[in-house]
């Protein structure tokens, strides 16, 4: 174990980039391999139909400070588990922590009792106890697993889960690496939440200042700048809210390695490499690219998709994308995953031999939220404008009423009826009975303690790459481009449930329809029913929404709707997803930003 | 004897802090229709913080030590708030105001607060019932307005406001204003009816961390009406402009 470094002597660079661990090697092979120093075990790949996993605490040192992490079989991230589609597995999980624990198999279709959610499907695994998970593998692809207890996911309990398909895959590759993104903080995760409760912008060091005011004044004049500041100020919103928890406390990791340690995957020129990207972060959205190497996306959330060549993709928390790359020209390429707010990045290398590195690109400019993110649609003429140019904004100065958004309810907006919305591409009007999932009238949510905004105009934004990406010159993946390999053969839904994703940034509270988990009733769905969830994001941030036990078919305009277990819903956006409730039980439905979930952005979906 | 009420208030607050983690465990919740094995998330978690917005020396014609702090403990919807302020000059404590309040959100940005205030300093103490509203006004002004009724039937009011102006991400200029109103004279406490006093400050802090920020500033204290007259009778200035230096700190 490394000796503890005084926090005062810790340089910012070292903090952001982490410690270059000695003895970290890298080796090729079909299964990615990585080494780790000292106390933390090397991440292993475990196979076979019967496994023993042990959850326990291990000392860890990511930034130069000694900390304690939550590990599985001693490793952080947890071991790569590889199983075969069509087989049954038995996994004995022993909890050696002094608090209850659990493992949830993210994106896995299984009996409810095996889903691993304390409170919903079992009591959790008590200290010293062993729980045996038994389930058949009925799917293939890249998934992951993580603790569903408290903050253990943030402290290291997450690992890749791979199901090898029975049938031959429609793509070929020579090497296969997991690229698991995550975030690490030296702080106690509950302290992070507590800090946000006291000061919501605690981790935001990209706020508007006197300096940005002067710069904007030079660019667009004093009156436009003032009008813009007044507009945001009246709403008590900040366009710089991109991520709640940032690189000011996080070090971003790939396969558990900070940028300085530089996880490396080896290749020979001309080989096809399959990269299984998994965002196992607690709170961080990443924009991923490999400069000089286009990526062929072949899977999203474990499901095969029609191949797409992209330069870059955004990966929300809990999403997975599989890409195949064919490096032919260079000996080293950088896998570059910048956090959405550009407060830091994770980095790894693909190289023909260990020790080679490629240039690390500069991060993109820090993005800003727009009026579209505030749920004002295109009225502000701001669609797709994520940077700088706020010139279009003065026209959309909100009502003079002092209440900011209070004057903006839809009833006062001519033409904002449901009928009009139905004409908007993608934002389809329900052709089936439609109700708010919590029995709430969204118009009445405005002004409640848990709600700082109700989107006035909801929009289909699946053709947009998202805040910070739109408008750059790279070829970027969007949800609208995703198409399943096989057409959807399921019938249309028979009813629709609307969920407003709500929150109050200032109080740092999060929920659905203005209610936290503890304030809401479960959502009841009949066994066998095919249901549409309309996810309407009233907040100014992306929320990766995840339903356990099922796959959403995303109504993204494609005939072959892509299947996803996690949907990163943009601010001001409505996304329609459909699923068939074919497995009974208590299923968790939540925002996969860990701290949002823990603070109540969570519902139980009871299928019976 | 005089410090007894404060001791009670402090003891109450400290016991809350100790109880908080225990309560957090309990509020995780038992089985429900949504969770047959108990709550899956901890959305009723009890948090607690203590912030000293002002912890400073004031230097001018004479020197004082001044503090203004606020602690809270509770969930999103139910909080206990402790407010404390006071000024010590040459060993004499003035303008002591200690409050123990219950706070609850009533809208997106505002809370109502109700409870007790005790004026605890070197002058005779006064007990008040307190009721007020505080929150975030448009343009990010932190404001509060509190009304008080004393055990002797006097009324009082307090208006407070402050604003954080970010010069850089870590260099922050905070103008702050506090005004006190009273319905009746209280000569023992050198208070006159009407707008009694105003305390304003302009502080420039540097956030070494979010929780630890040394600052320098100027403070402006002005007494009005009978309060000013009573001050002059005691050979104290009605208007005092002083330099201040201190630290804004929270836990």
CB A206 within 8 A of CB A242: yes
Cβ of A207 and B169 within 8 Å? yes
Say yes or no for a CB contact (<8 Å) between B109 and A197.
Answer: no
Q: How many CB atoms lie within 10 A of CB B139?
A: 14
| Mean pLDDT across A34-57 | 78
Question: At A421, is the pLDDT very low, low, confident or very high (cuts 50, 70, 90)?
Answer: very low
A236 touches chain B (CB under 8 A): yes
**Residue A325: what pLDDT?**
98
Cα–Cα distance, A502 to A241 (Å, whole number): 15
pLDDT exceeds 80 at position A341: yes
Residues A273-296 have pLDDT tens digits of 999 999 999 999 999 999 999 999
**At B145, phi and psi to the nearest 5?**
-135, 125
By DSSP bridging, strand A263-266 and strand A345-351 are parallel
Q: How far apart are CA B245 and CA B43, in angstroms?
A: 39
Residue A102 sits at the chain B interface (C-beta within 8 Å): no
Q: How far is B33 from chain A (nearest CA, A)?
A: 7
A198/B43 Cβ within 8 A: no
pLDDT for residue B76 is more than 70: yes
Residue A420 pLDDT level (bands cut at 50, 70, 90): very low
Task: Specify the residue for token string 């002094």.
Answer: A98
Beta-carbon contacts of residue A426 (< 8 Å; ≥ 6 apart): A460, A462, A555, A556, A557
Handedness of CA A323, A328, A330, A331 (dihedral sign): positive
- With a cut of 90, say whether residue A14 has pLDDT above it: no
**Distance (Å) from the C-alpha of residue B73 to the closest C-alpha of chain A?**
11
CB distance A481 to A314 below 8 Å: no
d(CA A380, CA A390) in angstroms, rounded, equals 10
Q: Is the pLDDT of residue B14 over 70?
A: no
What is the nearest CA distance from B205 to chain A, expressed in angstroms? Answer: 14
- Beta-strand relationship, A286-289 and A332-339: antiparallel
Sheet of strand A50-60: strand arrangement: A67-72, A50-60, A88-95, A130-136
Q: What is the b/e burial string over A513-540, where b = at least 16 CB atoms within 10 angstroms of the residue's CB?
A: bbbbbbbbebbebeeeebbbbbbbbbbb
Where are any strands of DSSP class E within A398-470?
434-436
3-class DSSP state of A346: strand
Neighbour-count burial for A262-292, b at 16+ CB within 10 Å, e otherwise: bbbbbbeeebbbbbbbbbbbbbbbbbbbbbe
Cβ–Cβ gap A602/B108 under 8 Å: no
| Chain B nearest C-alpha distance from A481 (Å) | 35
pLDDT at B230 over 80: yes
Is A207 an interface residue toward B (CB < 8 Å)?
yes
- State the pLDDT at residue A43: 82
Hey, CA dihedral for A235, A238, A243, A249, is it positive or negative? negative
| Cβ atoms within 10 Å, residue A39 | 17
Q: Determine what percent of chain B falls in helix, strand and coil, rounding each to the nearest 5.
A: 15, 60, 25
Q: How many CB atoms lie within 10 A of CB A400?
A: 7
Nearest to B16 by CA among B59, B46, B52, B44: B46
Q: What is the pTM of this model?
A: 0.89
A207 interaction partners in chain B (CB closer than 8 Å):
166, 169
Tokens 């919590």 locate to A438
pLDDT averaged over chain A? 87
Count CA atoms closer than 13 A to A457's CA, side-chain side: 20
Closest alpha carbon within chain A to B104: A449
> Contacts by B114-118 with C-beta closer than 8 Å and gap 24+?
B115/B81, B116/B9, B117/B148, B118/B5, B118/B6, B118/B9
Can you tell me the mean pLDDT for A58-71? 95
Strand blocks (E) in A147-216: 158-164, 175-185
Residue given tokens 């892509």 in the structure block: A562
Choose among B35, B47, B139: nearest Cβ to A194: B47
Inter-chain CB proximity A602 and B41 less than 8 Å: yes
8 Å CB contact of B77 and A600: no
- Cβ separation of B33 and A120 shorter than 8 Å? no
Q: Which of A119, A447, A451 sits opposite B40 (nearest CB)?
A: A119
Asked if residue B61 has pLDDT above 80, the reply is yes
**Min Cα separation B52/chain A (Å):** 13
Residue with tokens 């000695």: A22
Contacts of A357 (CB under 8 A, 6+ apart): A262, A332, A334, A349, A351
Indicate yes or no: CB of B169 within 8 angstroms of CB of A209.
yes
Structure-block tokens of residue B27:
């509020």
CA distance B210 to chain A (A): 7
d(CA A322, CA A357): 23
Does A53 score more than 90 pLDDT? yes
**Chain A residues touching B170 at Cβ < 8 A:** 205
pLDDT value of position B32: 87
What are the tokens at B9? Answer: 């208030």
Rounded to a whole number, what is the distance in Å from the CA of A82 to chain B's nearest CA? 28
Q: How far apart are CA B249 and CA B74, in angstroms?
A: 20
User: What is the per-residue pLDDT across A312-329, written as a single tens digit (0 to 9) for each?
Assistant: 999 999 999 999 999 999
CA distance A259 to chain B (A): 24
Q: Residue B136: which of A202, A210, A236 has the nearest Cβ?
A: A236
Are the CB atoms for A124 and A55 separated by under 8 Å? no
CB-nearest to B34 from A148, A233, A522 is: A522
Contacts of residue A369, defined as CB under 8 A and 6 or more positions apart, other chains included, come to A237, A238, A239, A240, A241, A242, A467, A540, A571
Q: Which residue of B has its CA nearest to A516?
A: B43
Q: Is A602 on the interface with B (CB under 8 A)?
A: yes
> Torsion angle of alpha carbons A112, A114, A115, A120, nearest 10°?
60
Contacts of B26 in chain A (CB under 8 A): none
Nearest of B49, B51, B45, B9 to residue B25 by alpha carbon: B45
Q: Which residue of A has its CA nearest to B111?
A: A449
pLDDT exceeds cutoff 50 at A535: yes
Q: Rounded to a whole number, what is the distance in Å from the CA of B99 to chain A's nearest CA? A: 19
CA distance B151 to chain A (A): 33
d(CA A133, CA A121): 12
Say if the Cβ atoms of A606 and B139 lie within 8 Å: no
Q: Which chain A residues are within 8 Å of B41, Cβ to Cβ?
A: 119, 517, 590, 597-600, 602
Most distant pair of Cα atoms in chain A: their distance:
68
Q: What is the pLDDT of residue A386?
A: 37
CB contact under 8 A, A599 and B51: no
Mean pLDDT check: name the lowest of A282-286, A408-412, A526-530, B67-71.
Answer: A408-412
User: B137 CA to chain A: closest CA distance, Å?
Assistant: 8
Closest chain A residue by Cα to residue B34 = A522
Mean pLDDT throughout A152-169? 96
Residues ≥6 apart with Cβ < 8 Å to A330: A292, A358
B183-211 b/e with 16+ CB inside 10 Å = b? eebbeebbbbbebbbbbbbbbbbebeebb
Assess contact for B9 and B100: CB atoms under 8 A.
yes
Of A168, A186, A160, the closest CA to residue A106 belongs to A160
DSSP state of A330: -
Q: Tell me how many degrees the CA angle A355-A358-A364 measures, rounded to the nearest 5.
A: 140
B40: phi then psi, degrees, rounded to nearest 5: -80, -20
Tokens of A572: 């001001």
pLDDT band, residue A471 (cuts 50/70/90): confident
Neighbours of B1 (CB within 10 A): 5
Rounded Cα–Cα distance for residues A335 and A349 (Å): 6
Q: Using CA coordinates, name the residue in chain A closest to B70.
A: A198
- Could you write out the three-class secondary structure of B37-89? CCCCCCCCCCEEEEEEEEEEEEECCCEEEEEEEEEEEECCCCEEEEEEEEEEE
Within 8 A of A449 by CB-CB distance, chain B residues are 76-77, 105-108
Contact B109/A123, CB-based, under 8 Å? no
DSSP state of B192: -
Residues 536-575 of A with CB under 8 A from B: none
Residues near A322 by beta carbon (within 8 Å), at least 6 away in sequence:
A141, A142, A274, A275, A276, A277, A297, A298, A299, A300
Q: What is the mean pLDDT of residues A67-85?
A: 96
* pLDDT higher than threshold 90 for residue A407: no
Residues on chain A touching B35 (C-beta within 8 angstroms): 119-120, 586, 604
Contact across the interface for B43 and A516, Cβ inside 8 Å: yes
Q: Which DSSP symbol is given to A258?
A: -
Beta-strand relationship, A88-95 and A130-136:
antiparallel
With cut-offs at 50, 70 and 90, classify the pLDDT of residue A13: low
Nearest-CB residue to B35 (from A119, A199, A209): A119
**Angle at alpha carbon of residue A78, lines to A73 and A80, rounded to 5°:** 105
Instruction: Please report how the helices A210-220 and A222-235 are oriented relative to each other, as an axis angle in degrees rounded to 10.
Output: 130
Q: How many angstroms separate the CA atoms of A415 and A68, rounded?
A: 56
Report chain A residues whose CB lies below 8 A from the CB of B250. 198
């Amino acid at each position: 174990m490394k000796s503890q470094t005084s926090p005062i002597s810790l340089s910012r660079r070292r903090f952001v980039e982490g410690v270059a661990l000695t003895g970290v090697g890298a080796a090729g092979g079909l299964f990615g391999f990585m080494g780790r120093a000292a106390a933390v075990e090397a991440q292993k790949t475990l196979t076979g139909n019967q496994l023993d996993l042990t959850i326990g605490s291990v000392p860890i040192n990511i930034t130069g400070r000694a900390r304690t992490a939550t590990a599985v079989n001693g490793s952080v991230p947890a071991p790569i588990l590889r199983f075969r589609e069509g087989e049954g597995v038995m996994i004995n999980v022993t909890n050696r922590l002094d608090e209850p624990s659990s493992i949830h198999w993210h994106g896995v279709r299984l009996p409810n009792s095996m889903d691993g959610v304390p409170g919903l499907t079992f009591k959790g695994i008590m200290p010293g106890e062993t729980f045996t998970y038994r389930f058949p593998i009925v799917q293939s692809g890249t998934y992951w697993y993580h603790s569903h207890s408290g903050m253990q996911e943030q402290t290291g309990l997450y690992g890749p889960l791979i199901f090898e398909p029975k049938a031959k895959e429609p793509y070929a590759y020579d090497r296969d690496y997991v690229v698991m993104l995550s975030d690490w903080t030296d702080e106690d995760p509950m302290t992070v939440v507590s800090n946000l409760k006291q000061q919501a912008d605690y981790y935001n060091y990209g706020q508007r200042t006197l300096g940005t005011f002067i710069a904007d004044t030079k660019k667009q004049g004093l009156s436009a700048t003032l009008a813009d500041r007044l507009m945001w100020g009246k709403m008590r919103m900040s366009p710089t809210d991109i991520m709640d928890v940032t690189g000011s406390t996080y070090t971003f990791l790939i396969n558990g390695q900070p940028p300085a340690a530089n996880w490396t995957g080896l290749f020979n020129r001309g080989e096809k490499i399959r990269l299984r990207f998994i965002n196992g972060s607690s709170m961080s959205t990443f924009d991923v690219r490999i400069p000089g190497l286009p990526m062929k996306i072949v899977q999203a959330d474990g499901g095969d998709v029609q191949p797409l060549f992209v330069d870059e993709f955004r990966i929300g928390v809990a999403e997975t994308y599989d890409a195949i790359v064919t490096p032919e020209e260079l000996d080293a390429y950088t896998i570059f995953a910048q956090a959405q707010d550009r407060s830091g990045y994770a980095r790894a290398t693909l190289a023909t031999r260990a020790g080679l590195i490629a240039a690390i690109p500069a991060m993109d400019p820090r993005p800003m939220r727009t009026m579209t993110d505030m749920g004002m649609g295109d009225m502000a003429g701001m669609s797709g404008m994520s940077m700088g140019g706020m010139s279009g904004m003065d026209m959309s100065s909100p009502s003079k009423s002092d209440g900011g958004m209070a004057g903006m309810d839809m009833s006062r907006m001519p033409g904002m009826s449901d009928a009009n919305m139905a004409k908007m591409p993608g934002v389809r009007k329900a052709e089936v009975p439609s109700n708010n999932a919590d029995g709430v009238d969204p118009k009445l949510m405005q002004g409640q303690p848990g709600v700082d905004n109700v989107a006035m105009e909801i929009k289909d934004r699946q053709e947009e790459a998202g805040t910070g990406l739109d408008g750059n010159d790279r070829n970027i993946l969007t949800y609208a481009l995703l198409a399943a390999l096989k057409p959807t053969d399921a019938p249309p839904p028979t009813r629709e449930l609307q969920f407003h994703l709500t929150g109050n940034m200032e109080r740092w509270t999060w929920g659905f329809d203005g209610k936290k988990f503890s304030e809401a009733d479960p959502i009841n769905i009949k066994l066998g029913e095919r249901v549409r969830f309309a996810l309407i994001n009233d907040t100014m941030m992306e929320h990766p929404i995840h339903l356990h036990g099922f796959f959403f078919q995303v109504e993204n305009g494609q005939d072959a709707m892509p299947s996803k277990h996690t949907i990163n819903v943009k601010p001001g956006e409505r996304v329609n997803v459909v699923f068939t409730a074919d497995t009974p039980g208590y299923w968790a439905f939540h925002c996969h930003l860990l701290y949002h979930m823990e603070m109540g952005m969570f519902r139980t979906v009871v299928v019976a | 004897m005089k410090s007894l009420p404060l001791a009670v208030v402090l003891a109450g607050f400290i016991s809350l802090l100790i109880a908080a983690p225990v309560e957090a465990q309990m509020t995780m919740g038992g089985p429900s229709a949504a969770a047959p094995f108990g709550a899956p998330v901890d959305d009723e978690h009890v948090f607690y913080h203590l912030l000293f917005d002002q912890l400073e020396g004031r230097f001018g014609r004479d020197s004082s030590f001044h503090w203004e702090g606020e602690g809270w403990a509770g969930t999103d919807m139910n909080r206990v708030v402790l407010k404390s302020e006071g000024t010590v000059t040459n060993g004499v404590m003035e303008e002591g105001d200690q409050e123990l309040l219950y706070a609850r959100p009533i809208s997106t940005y505002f809370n109502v607060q109700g409870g007790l205030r005790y004026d605890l300093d070197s002058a005779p103490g006064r007990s008040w019932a307190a009721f007020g509203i505080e929150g975030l006004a448009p343009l990010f002004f932190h404001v509060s307005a509190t009304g008080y009724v004393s055990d002797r039937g006097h009324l009082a009011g307090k208006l407070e406001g402050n604003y954080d102006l970010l010069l850089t991400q870590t260099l922050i200029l905070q103008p702050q204003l506090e005004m006190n109103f009273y319905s009746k004279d209280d000569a023992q406490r050198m208070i006159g009816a009407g707008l009694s006093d105003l305390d304003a400050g302009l502080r420039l802090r540097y956030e070494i961390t979010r929780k630890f920020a040394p600052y320098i500033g100027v403070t402006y204290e002005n007494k009005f009406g009978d309060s000013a007259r009573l001050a002059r009778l005691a050979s104290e200035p009605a208007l005092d402009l002083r330099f201040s230096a201190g630290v804004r700190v929270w836990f």
